[in-house]
Structure 1
Amino acid sequence: MTGKSWKTTEIIKVLEFINENFSLWCKHRINACTKVAKVHNLDRDAKSIYSMVNKLLQAIKTPKRRKACKTLKRRKISSLVKEINKKTEVLDEGLDDKCKGKKKITSDNKQKITTNSNTNMTTNANQKSASQAATTSASQIATTFANQVPNTSASQVPTTSTSQITSVIEGVYKEKVKQIDTRRDEDIQNITQYTTDIVNSLLLKGILK
């Protein structure tokens, strides 16, 4: 059946059906070819019909192939093929625009994700830096205080009240904390704990009595 020559009337029936049922042709071309054969009782299989239509559509696109195609010399056939080809081009342009729109949305989403990721990384880096600053400043409290206490033995240090020592430590503590840009409660608690640790250490060493 596939090697049988096409009659002009058969070709016109097929092209008219496709033109009138273009949405079906676009959705599934083989199914459209099967249906046109059934509707017009054509002694053709779907692949044969599709091959014939596809060759005509390819030939209509270039002047050289169009002139070489004898079938397209018939005005009715040429007109139908041109109309189907035009609809196909419009459809393809619409699909291209739709794909471009999807690509733009995807690109925008990727840019948004990248921006959010960079923001999160910056925030995390700032938090890490603040945490490190908190720990460093807290450890510096003891060093600063040690520099303010005379380097003498415990027996040589005059009796000092706990409130006086605590006042000095808290003064250093407040000064250092002002330099720390952190909102983490854990860091603040750690710094506060240093005050208690220093006082206890001084008591154990006999500096505080």
Structure 2
Amino acid sequence: MRLPALTARPVHRLAGLVRGHPVIAAATAAVLLAAVSLTALLAGGGSAQPRAANVSRNYRACLLVSPAGATDARLSQESWQGMQDAARSGGVNAERFPAPTIDAKAALPYFNGAVQHHCELIVTVGTGMKPATEAAARANPHQQFVIVGATSAHPHISAIAAPADPGGDQAGRELADRVSAFVSDRR
């Protein structure tokens, strides 16, 4: 390999100094390694903050699940099934996040997490989640929300009616179909 004249002369001088002097060779190698590492570290660039990337560019719908043992567990299950159905049809990423509380103030960080994950639609279930959903809608005025099994007068919160008998298999399938259609229509 032939080096340019400006580079070749200093490299040949350094090689002559290092030859036969293992301490100088080790020190030179350490300095070069440190310089390359520092350059790579500083040139790594990019944002220091992690960010949720939607590589697929699909519409992202997120279900915030109320605490375990909630009375709306069946509605949550059928809503999740509907979101998965919408995802299977293509063009939708369905995600599920736990919200360990339905208290509006305490649940707000969980809603904000879904917003930070770039969920274009946040789905909640039941009348218990209504105050938290309304608080999140006030805090995030450009975010779209939907409540399954409850209604709200807030302009950024849509509603999907729950079946009269949510325990029945046919009613559960109807709710899943409603949720799937609602999510699919938004993409």
Report the TM-score range of the alignment, normalised by the length of the smaller protein.
under 0.3
Instruction: Give the number of the structure whose residues are more often strand, by fraction.
Output: 2
TM-score by length of 1: 0.24
Bigger CA radius of gyration: 1
TM-score by length of 2: 0.26
Select the structure with the greater relative contact order (CA < 8 A; seq sep ≥ 6): 2
Instruction: Give the number of the structure whose residues are more often helix, by fraction.
Output: 1
